[in-house]
Amino acid sequence: MRGSARPRTARANVPPPSPRPKRARGDRPPRLSTERLVLRPFDLSDARAVQRLAGAREVADTTLHIPHPYRIGMAEAWIGTHREAFAAGRSVTFAIVRKRPRALVGAIGLQLDLAHGRAELGYWIGVPFWGRGYCSEAAAAVLRHGFETLGLHRVHAAHFARNPASGRVMQKVGMGREGCLRGHVRKGDVFEDLEVYGILVGEWRSRRRRTK
Ligand SMILES: CC(C)(COP(=O)(O)OP(=O)(O)OC[C@H]1O[C@@H](n2cnc3c(N)ncnc32)[C@H](O)[C@@H]1OP(=O)(O)O)[C@@H](O)C(=O)NCCC(=O)NCCS
């Protein structure tokens, strides 16, 4: 057959088709449940807790977009953006709620870029709840949601080099360090180095098979 004369190397370089990323269904994110946590959409009734927790200097210090001081009305305004951003396929944001005793402990989400099948993972945990594994538990559930439900190809995340606890969270959920973007963002008067992490769907699946 004539077609068999096609150069084999060219064909070998073509990646297999990957499934198209799916738009999330419904107008709000689903509830995800883990051993100790529920991840659910934020409600306006969460605003006071968000203002108290996200308003801590320690939380603003290692994040790029959390204002400080965190004034009255900012939490309501932030929560008010979630539904439209979700419906437009731009982001999915979850409140992290401890099951027992019930408490809002933080926030986690994906900034979606569906054209490229990828999303950036971001999170914060209120200071009283640090160091109990909550962020790692929530991040594992959100990665699963991103790969299994949204059909993503890649999830990436970045942390300030001076924030190794966040890097540890990324490592614990199987993300690999991809490099350092030196002086990549300005926080106040300081240019911060960013440590960049990522994981591809195939890596996530193999890890999941190994750890099941
Ligand atoms: C970073 C943050 C989300 C971690 O939340 P958390 O619920 O405490 O995280 P976890 O308990 O799941 O895991 C933290 C890990 O970091 C480790 N860690 C804590 N401080 C550390 C440090 N200075 N150096 C290295 N590792 C550190 C912990 O020991 C733990 O790892 P381990 O389970 O192997 O012992 C939380 O500190 C936070 O919200 N910080 C402010 C906002 C922020 O930085 N968000 C991320 C922006 S990229």
Domain residue limits, the chain: 23-211
Q: What is the pLDDT of residue 20?
A: 67
Shortest-distance atom of ligand 1 to CA 172: 34
Annotation: CATH topology of 23-211: Aminopeptidase (3.40.630)
Q: Residue 193 — very low, low, confident or very high, per pLDDT cuts 50/70/90?
A: very high
Q: How far is the CA of 82 from the centre of ligand 1 (A)?
A: 25
Q: What is the pLDDT of residue 140?
A: 98
Beta carbons of 45 and 148 less than 8 angstroms apart? no
Q: Measuring CA to CA, how many Å separate 152 from each of 1, 48, 111?
A: 38, 33, 12
Report angle CA 68, 60, 129 to the nearest 5 degrees: 125
**Ligand 1 environment, Cβ below 6 A:** 59, 62-63, 123-125, 130-136, 159, 163-166, 168-169
Shortest-distance atom of ligand 1 to CA 58: 41
Q: What is the pLDDT of residue 19?
A: 56
Q: Is 46 left (phi over 0), alpha (psi -120 to 50) or beta?
A: alpha
- What is the rounded average pLDDT of the residues 190-195? 98
In 3-state terms, what secondary structure has residue 135? helix
Q: Residue 26 — very low, low, confident or very high, per pLDDT cuts 50/70/90?
A: confident
Q: Measuring CA to CA, how many Å separate 168 from each of 30, 46, 149?
A: 27, 28, 25
Exposed/middle/buried for 9, CB within 10 Å: 0-12, 13-18, 19+? exposed
- What is the rounded average pLDDT of the residues 28-35? 96
| DSSP β-bridge partners for residue 48 | none
pTM score, whole prediction: 0.92
Longest pairwise C-alpha distance within the chain: 73
Average pLDDT, the chain: 92
Round to whole Å and give the CA distance between 107 and 93.
Answer: 7
